[in-house]
Structure 1
Amino acid sequence: MKGAVRREPVALLIGLVGLVVSVVVALVIGDVPQPGTEAGLLVAAVFAVTIVLGEWFHLSAPGFRGSAPIAMAAAFGLALTTEVPGGQFVAYGTAFVVAVTSLAMAVGTVTRVLSGRDVSIVETTGRLVAIIVVTVLYRGVHLGQQPGEAAPSDGLVPWQRAALMLGITMLGLVADTLFTSVLRALSASGNLRRTFVEEVRSSFAMSMAVAVTGVLIALAAPPMGIAALPLFLMPLVLTLFAFRRYVSIRATYLQSIRTLSRLTDAAGYTPAGHSERVAALAVRVGRELGLSERELLDLEYAALLHDIGQVALIEPIPGGATVLAAPADQRRIEADTVAIVRETGVFEGAARILEHQTTPYRQVRELGEEIPLTSRIVKVVNAYEDLTAGARSVRAREAAIERIYLGLGYEYDPRVVDALLTAIGPGSDQS
């Protein structure tokens, strides 16, 4: 839902900001640049403003891991920059860089929340972890810079320094991905390895661009100064506009799918809004189970189209409730649905999910058959929606859950049913 802190309470955000401010004060007291280093302070101020703006203009879309490439590249540039034109060395150390970055990110995050924009504390904290790792490894470990002193020369030729910087920034990005993967896997009792792989897949290209940009800014700072910041950030700015255009196209694409999913409603095969309700609830259940953004996107497409095969029926199923149909009829509808979806040539991920949407869970438990978790989600959520017929009364919910419980472990995956109960429980945003 737009204007909300995604999956984290606002109280957590307030607590995080308070912690960041406290840490900033403590760090700055022990790491204030010495008098006569106005150039370094100006550089830090410009980088800080850029990080704030970068947190405001962050990227987020279904199927992609949220990121703030401009903020991250600027923060990496701040951590790696040790010299400005005229042979002047910036005299701030590791703690000062972390303090400035933390404060800038906190300001950008709070500004987004106050303006009603989407924010993920997990993703924001992950970015901060990456910046801390890069700063500590480069300034603290490699250079051995002490608070208030200029960074000593490392004796490396330019290409060696560039390779070292790039390697360190990539380590920082790996730390970010691993940190967010661990949090998401723990919160949803998911598989850490699968979560990590999906996080890497959804962010690799952008992460490489961010790492290279941060290194270029630092390497260009000695001859160019602050001008290196806007110059090398410009490709990321253009990428931001291109990505937003892409998101707009995807939104139109999704709207077309929603229109197609209403075909069964218009033909009287399913109750009005059935597919959209299944899709919305399936995505919430998928989030509870720790699915990646890409998996959630395929799940949403599959849920929207899961009943499209009913248009091939001669006589509609009463109420469109496939859960009440005979197993043979369910499999026939499933086969017709998969055939129609595959005819489009663009929904292969959704088709793979729909191939198993009627397969009983016992075939996983007893026969070891590979049935995607997303297919099990569609099966449980569709059964719930069929049994409630769109009603949201307590009695309708309880009756549907009781019926599902009769098939628990046989027809339905118990883990998915538990996630369903969480998604429809008190405090959920189901409508």
Structure 2
Amino acid sequence: MRERLRRIDLRGPIGVLSAACVLGSLWMSRGGATGLTGDVALELVLFLVAIALGETARLTILTGRATAPMSTAAALGLSFTALTSTDGRPVDASVVVATISIGMALGLLLLRLATGSAHWGGTAARLLAAATAAVVYRSVDFGGRTLIEWQDRWPGDRWLVAVLMLTVGTLAMLVDLTLEAAVRAGRDHAPLLRSIVDEVRSSGGLATALVTSGALIALADFAVGVAALPLFLFPLVLTYFAVQRYATIRTTYRQTIGALSSLTDRAGYTRTQHAERVADIAVAVGRDMGMGQRELTDLEYAALLHDLGQVALREPIPRGATVMAAPADQQRIAHDGAEIVRTTGVLDNVAEILEAQTTPYRQVREFGQNLPMSSRIIKVANAYDDLQDPGGDNRRAMERIHLGLGYEYDPRVVDSLTRVLERRRRSAPSGS
């Protein structure tokens, strides 16, 4: 049952739900759009343009997903803004959702034309989150009135209106993060609850800023009108460039570690791309076991650098297969690699993982040694790649690993590796 749940991919259902949301809001807004004043229509168009442009300015956060902070903040601001029709009633939620939908669709089209590729999954999640905020704030009755109608009865208590906006905005962002986590869990075969927690941890700060910005746009609109939109989106523009720079630094950091990991390949100590293969397997196993993104990042770096200590050897190990080396030699390679990494001064967690990567699992089982899970994963992933036949047949490698089950290798890690390999076998093209 657990494996069956991991195989569920929600990208399709979320896309269908968002499409239904778009079509439903467009259909329902036909009557509401006819009662708009010129000023309200102009404000809706400005929000639409801001959402579209914001959709083209995307950021990639730690979990690897792309988000559009300015689009989200503008959509939340529109959901909360007290726009009224000619009869004095608040603009219907269907009109708001239709505006957000058109803006996001236009932004997606612009992004497609500019870059040649645009992923709609994140846009669908953001649309459903904004629709949630609009419907809850403008359509759901609370004591006979909607929240946007209640705010007109509290002209002297704007702080209470702000609390309501922040509460509904938080609900909307939880919808967004949950949908994003569900899609990622289905794609990466990771535990759903862990993916949600990881998404909240990675995006919680940004989500808080977006909710606050949306509420400020709506509150300021009461005093300065549509000028509130650029006024409170401008700080997000600065944040966008700052996060973009951080993402560039993180990418360069990963490339530097990748280049360092290839040193043993170039020097003839290991087989070509051995470190990349071990890192790929290790990260897949880590996801399967429910590791968070920060743990996965350390695991990937450690897996890439796990053979770095071999540069201190006088003579290379045949095929670079450390699994065939004597235990003392394995420990010396791990120690030397960890010492090299420690000299950087910024990879202490990675050095700790490298130091323990050759420790047998029996040290945990028999003596209770605190052995990092990442070290256990690298030990299994490295053994798998070292023992694999050149033709790609993994049966011999898995048989050898199972001979050391519970003594050299953690049974839970080996079980996870088996699941990963089985999924890859099923998804591989027939005949490959």
Q: Sort the Cα spacing of 1:76 and 1:367 in 2 relative to 1 into closer, same or farther, 3 A.
A: farther
Any gaps of 5 or more consecutive residues in structure 2?
1-6
Q: Distance in 1 between matches of 2:19 and 2:127?
A: 14
Q: In structure 2, do the counterparts of structure 1 residues 158 and 20 end up closer, same or farther at CA, with 3 Å as the change threshold?
A: same
Contact 2:331 2:358 in 1 (8 A): yes
| 2:345 corresponds to 1:326 | no
Contact 1:302-1:351 at 8 Å conserved across structures: yes
Q: Distance in 2 between matches of 1:294 and 1:226?
A: 40
Assess, with a 3 A threshold, how the Cα gap between structure 1 residues 108 and 403 changes in structure 2: closer, same or farther.
farther
CA distance in 2, matches of 1:127, 1:111: 17
Q: Distance in 1 between matches of 2:230 and 2:104?
A: 19
Matched, 1:132 2:131: yes
- Rounded to whole Å, the distance in 2 between the matches of 1:316 and 1:220 is 68
Read off the aligned partner of 1:26 and give its amino acid letter: G
User: 1:24 is matched with which residue?
Assistant: 22
Cα distance in 1, alignment partners of residues 59 and 291 from structure 2: 19
In the superposition, the TM-score normalised over structure 2's length comes to 0.81
TM superposition shift of 1:68? 1.6
Give 5+ residue unaligned stretches, structure 1.
1-6
1:101 paired residue number? 100
The 5 Å alignment of 1:11-410 reads 12=11, 17=15, 19-31=17-29, 32-33=31-32, 35-38=34-37, 39-62=39-62, 66-83=66-83, 91-109=90-108, 112=111, 115-117=115-117, 119=119, 121=121, 123-141=122-140, 153-156=152-155, 157-181=157-181, 184-185=184-185, 190-191=190-191, 194-361=194-361, 371-388=371-388, 391=390, 393-395=391-393, 397-408=394-405, 410=407
TM-score, length basis structure 1? 0.81
Residues 89 and 342 (structure 1), Cα distance of their counterparts in 2 relative to 1, 3 Å cut: farther
Indicate how the Cα distance of structure 1 residues 78 and 89 shifts in structure 2: closer, same or farther if over 3 A, else same.
farther
The 1:76/1:272 distance shift into structure 2, 3 A limit, reads same
Q: Is the 8 A contact 1:51 1:71 kept in 2?
A: yes
Structure 1, 109-118 or 162-171: larger mean CA deviation: 109-118
Report Cα offsets for 1:315-369 as digits up to 9, x if no partner.
3221111112223322232222222222211112322432432344455667666
Displacement of 1:208 after TM fit? 1.9
**Number of matched residues?**
416
Report the secondary structure of 1:425's partner residue. Answer: helix
Q: 1:328 to 1:110 in 2, by over 3 A?
A: farther
Note the C-alpha offset of 1:420. 3.4
Contact 2:198 2:292 in 1 (8 A): yes
Residues 76 and 169, structure 1, Cα contact 8 Å, conserved in 2: yes
Change (3 A) 1:273 1:338: same
**Which deviates more from structure 2 when the two are superposed, residues 153-162 or residues 56-65?**
56-65
Q: How far did residue 251 of structure 1 move?
A: 2.2
Determine helix, strand or coil for the equivalent of 2:32. coil
